Amino acid sequence: EDILHASSELKGKHVLVSAGPTQEAMDPVRFISNHSSGKMGYAIARAAANMGAEVTLVSGPVSLSTPYGVNKISITSANEMSQAIKEHMEEADFIIKAAAVGDYRVEHISNEKIKKQGDILELTLHKNEDILAYIGAHKKPEQVLCGFAMETENLLENAEEKRKKKNCDMIVANNLKTEGAGFQGDTNVAVLLQENGKEELGLMSKYELGKTILLRMLEIQANRKGT
Ligand code: CTP
Ligand code: CA
């Protein structure tokens, strides 16, 4: 599956993928982050490259090697991810936001290491821009947008609400508590939500899920052209 351009479904298409966690600095030695491994986003990027696409991958800090033929842009914070996505969204045909973006950043990043003091340390956090919602509000009609929804309860309700609110063509919903799903492993169990219905996918590799997502996005684009 690693042969470059093993197939050509996405030949001539530009795919923009975000992956991994973001890190929000507190001081020069500490940050707030999450458990995202980047595996899902990297699998999508690899699948897209193998299907013949030109791929840009905006990645938070992960310990994965860049898939062959993929143009990777490394970022650290949610603000940096936002900037990189905005710089590259113009030329993208398909945009897939698999990253686990930090919802909040530390208001004042200390220039010096924060010293241990009293028993309680309070940090004020500020909400980060919602990158997916920004793309949803600004995308061109021919661009196809796919977001993710990572939930621990009320999966379908919460995911559908995100799809609508962020104007996504498709949302990949997964429950962190499902066996075989989640951040660390090489498999996932997901439900694909579109305006006209849902597709429940069983346990599969993140690579296979990536391919399925890309094929559905192709269908969405084809249907749109047909109307
Ligand atoms: N997302 C984003 N920018 C943010 C937060 C989230 O682009 N600042 C994107 C994620 O990449 C994902 C989707 O929004 O594709 C859903 O992320 P999720 O964390 O599940 O949803 P939120 O809208 O942040 O809501 P909550 O964390 O409260 O469930
Ligand atoms: Ca969030």
Q: Is residue 103 lining ligand 1, measured as CB closer than 6 Å?
A: yes
- pTM score: 0.96
CB 27 within 8 A of CB 10: no
CATH of 14-102+125-226, one of 3.40.50.10300, 3.10.20.30, 3.40.1440.60, 3.40.50.10090: 3.40.50.10300
**Ligand 1 pocket check: which of 162, 164, 166, 193 to mutate, most ligand atoms within 8 Å of Cβ?**
162
ipTM: 0.99
CB 95 within 8 A of CB 145: yes
Note the pLDDT tens digit of each residue in 39-92.
Answer: 999 999 999 999 999 999 999 999 999 999 999 999 999 999 999 999 999 999
Note the pLDDT tens digit of each residue in 156-211.
Answer: 999 999 999 999 999 999 988 899 998 899 999 999 999 999 999 999 999 999 99
Give the dihedral of Cα atoms 14, 144, 68, 187; nearest 10 deg.
Answer: 180
Q: Is residue 148 lining ligand 1, measured as CB closer than 6 Å?
A: yes
3-state SS, residue 48: helix
